[in-house]
Structure formats: structure tokens, C-alpha cells
Amino acid sequence: MLIKKAEQIKPSEITPKEIYQQRRHFLKTSVNTGLGLAASGLLATRAADVFAGYGLKTLNHVKNSQYSLDDELTKYKDVTTYNNFYEFGASKSSPAATAHKLNAEPWSIKVEGHVENPASYHLEDIITEQTLEERIYRLRCVERWSMVVPWLGFPLAELIKKVKPTSQAKFVEFTTLYRPEEMQGQRRGVLAWPYVEGLRMDEAMHPLAFLAVGLYGEVLPNQNGAPIRLVVPWKYGFKSIKSIVKIRFTAQQPVSSWTRSAPHEYGFYSNVNPDVDHPRWSQRRERRIGEFFKRKTLMFNGYAEDVAHLYKNMDLKKYF
Ligand code: MTE
């Protein structure tokens, strides 16, 4: 069992972000010098006692990832209080204020559609079977702000390989929990509930597509999509669907909630692209939370080398 109950952390035990980052660099170096195994234990315990802002459960035995960036991390407080999670209201502050009403335990995920092994998994079983990685990824919201978050999780491809999609499976559709008694935003028709998102099969199998179960050493706070969410770092943030209960393999391209509500504004692909404007604003620049000056938005959010080949012969203005 990888999930452990966090001990009570006194404020005096909280370590500043710089030290967390130093430990991360130490880990990276140690992995390269063959000390990785010992160090991964160190990261797990140290990261855990650093950012227990909400006293959440810590995730142990986390290994560092070759896919992590060296960008400065966005503060834990910002990552967990400036959120988009319309199930808890449309303002950035309402998820942190109201998401405690969500009961994320127990949790199961149904996998269905064109697969050889349809299943209903308990979250604990999935986590126990997976080796968790820490991956520092940029998340760029379509609204022109961005963050850098140390996610904990595992590649989506690992789960996909286990359920064995058939040759008919061309897309993967993800669905969020529908529970209006706990998610008060679902009592209003802002979006067609439950929230749905989708990926093409090759996007879903890409090693950067990540299922996150934690951040900053702990399990996900509810407002960030507890207990399990998608993180697709080269796409606008709304593709990174939270609190997933269903994964379905389909022959047809899924219709995501945002595409359904405004098809001219939110396309299926939604790759971060400074050259394709949102109909109501330019996507050329972005504001990284915690920084004063805006920065240039990078093609595919800076992941072009890894993912551009997926869209080789596509007109990205048409398939936005
Ligand atoms: N998932 C669900 N179920 N509901 C949402 O409203 N918002 C999306 C995405 N996933 C959203 C969602 C958007 S617009 C963004 S930018 C990211 O979550 C924000 O993730 P964060 O709050 O962890 O930064």
C-alpha cells in the first residue's frame, strides 16, 4: 500500500520551497550516479513533510522522472487556491472554498468500450500496482495563465496497456464524477454535466500523457481533481480533466464538454498554439502565476520536440 496517513505537521517543520527544490536536484544527481533507489525514499519522506498544507496523505516511494522540467515551481498555495473546477463554481477561488464537500474515498474507475479487459478498478489497487513518478510539468490554461506543478502519478499508457484496447479503439473518452449533492456547481447548467474530455489514441499513449494522483508530495487536494485526474501538458488546461470515474475507448471522436458548449472556441485538439487565437483573445502571451511580466507562449507549451510529430500533416488552424 503506497498511500500513508500523514502525521500531523507542525508549522516549524515546514521546509521552504527552495529546500524542496534542492532535494529534487539532489535526487536527479543521485539517479545519474546510481544512488537513485536510496534517494527516492528520501524524496518521498522529505517532500511529504514540506508541503502538507492541508495535512493530506503523503505518497511514498515516488521516483523522479526524466520528463520533469527545471522551471521554478508555482507556490503550493497558488496551485491549490487558484483553480478551474466548474463543478465547484466558476470563480477561481470557489473550488478551494467548497471542494471539501467532495467525498473522494472510496473511489473506483470504470474502464469500458473497445477493450479486451473492461474493468472497474478501485483507486487503491491502481496506485498500489503503479510505480509513482514525480513530474514537473507546465499547465497552460486557455485563459492565458500558466503554472508549474510537481505532479505525482503514472503514464496513462500504463493503464491503457493493461486493459488492451481493440483495433476499433481510436479515441479515449474520460468522464468526471457527477454528484450534484457534493459538487454544487453541477446544480447549474453552466456546462453539460458530467464533464467529458477526450484524446486520440496516439495522444493518450504518448509518454507525456499522465494520470496524476498527487502534487507536492501529497495526494491531490479535492480542488485539483482528487483523487485522480489527467495532465496533458502540451494542451490547454481544460483537456486535463479532473476527478475521473470513467474511461471509455471509442471508435468515434468524443465530444468534450467545452466543445459542446462553444464549438467555435474550444476544439477537440486544443494544443497550446501561439499562432492560433482564441476567437475572443490572442494566445501569444501568458502570465505565469507568481510572475509579474508576461512571457511568450511556446508552441505545444514548450513540448514541441516531443509531440509535434503527432500532428505532422494536420492544418492546426482547422484542427484547433
Ligand atoms: N476538470 C473538470 N472536471 N472540471 C473543470 O472545470 N477545468 C479544467 C481542467 N480540468 C476543469 C477540469 C481547466 S479549464 C483547467 S485550466 C485545469 O483543470 C485547471 O487545473 P488546476 O485547477 O489543478 O490548476
Q: Which residue intervals of 166-315 are DSSP H helices?
A: 201-205, 257-261, 304-307
Q: How far apart are the first and last CA of the chain?
A: 42
Unique residue bearing C-alpha cell 474520460: 174
**Cβ of 216 less than 6 Å from ligand 1:** no
Question: Which pLDDT does position 263 carry in this prediction?
Answer: 97
- Read off the amino acid at residue 247: I
Spacing, Cα 86 to ligand 1 middle (Å) = 8
**Cβ of 139 less than 6 Å from ligand 1:** yes
Which atom of ligand 1 is found nearest the CA of 82? Answer: 22
CB-based burial label for 92 (10 Å; 0-12, 13-18, 19+)? middle
How far is the CA of 18 from the CAs of 12, 24, 51, 75, in angstroms?
A: 16, 10, 12, 11
- 16 upstream amide cis, omega within 30 of 0: no
Spacing, Cα 26 to ligand 1 middle (Å) = 32
**Rounded to 5 degrees, what angle do the CA atoms 83, 87, 91 make?**
45
Residue-level pLDDT, tens digit, the chain, 320 residues: 233 333 333 333 344 444 445 445 444 433 333 333 333 443 444 444 445 557 899 998 899 999 999 999 999 999 999 999 999 999 999 999 999 999 999 999 999 999 999 999 999 999 999 999 999 999 999 999 999 999 999 999 999 999 999 999 999 999 999 999 999 999 999 999 999 999 999 999 999 999 999 999 999 999 999 999 999 999 999 999 999 999 999 999 999 999 999 999 999 999 999 999 999 999 999 999 999 999 999 999 999 999 999 999 999 999 99
**Cβ of 172 less than 6 Å from ligand 1:** no
**Cβ of 87 less than 6 Å from ligand 1:** yes
Spacing, Cα 33 to ligand 1 middle (Å) = 38
Residues in the chain: 320
Which atom of ligand 1 is found nearest the CA of 195? Answer: 3
Write out pLDDT tens, residues 191-234.
Answer: 999 999 999 999 999 999 999 999 999 999 999 999 999 999 99
**Cβ of 271 less than 6 Å from ligand 1:** no
- Cβ-proximal residues to 252 (8 Å cutoff; 6+ apart), any chain: 170, 171
**Cβ of 214 less than 6 Å from ligand 1:** no
**Cβ of 186 less than 6 Å from ligand 1:** no
pTM recorded for the entire structure:
0.87
Spacing, Cα 231 to ligand 1 middle (Å) = 10
Unique residue bearing C-alpha cell 479535492: 222
Spacing, Cα 230 to ligand 1 middle (Å) = 10
Q: Which helix (H) or strand (E) holds 157?
A: helix 156-163
Which atom of ligand 1 is found nearest the CA of 223? Answer: 22
Residues 17-24+61-311, CATH architecture: Alpha-Beta Complex (3.90)
Question: Which pLDDT does position 174 carry in this prediction?
Answer: 99
Write out pLDDT tens, residues 237-277.
Answer: 999 999 999 999 999 999 999 999 999 999 999 999 999 99
Q: Got the DSSP string for 7-56?
A: PP--GGGPPPHHHHHHHHHHHHHHHHTT-HHHHHHHHHHHHHHH--TT-P
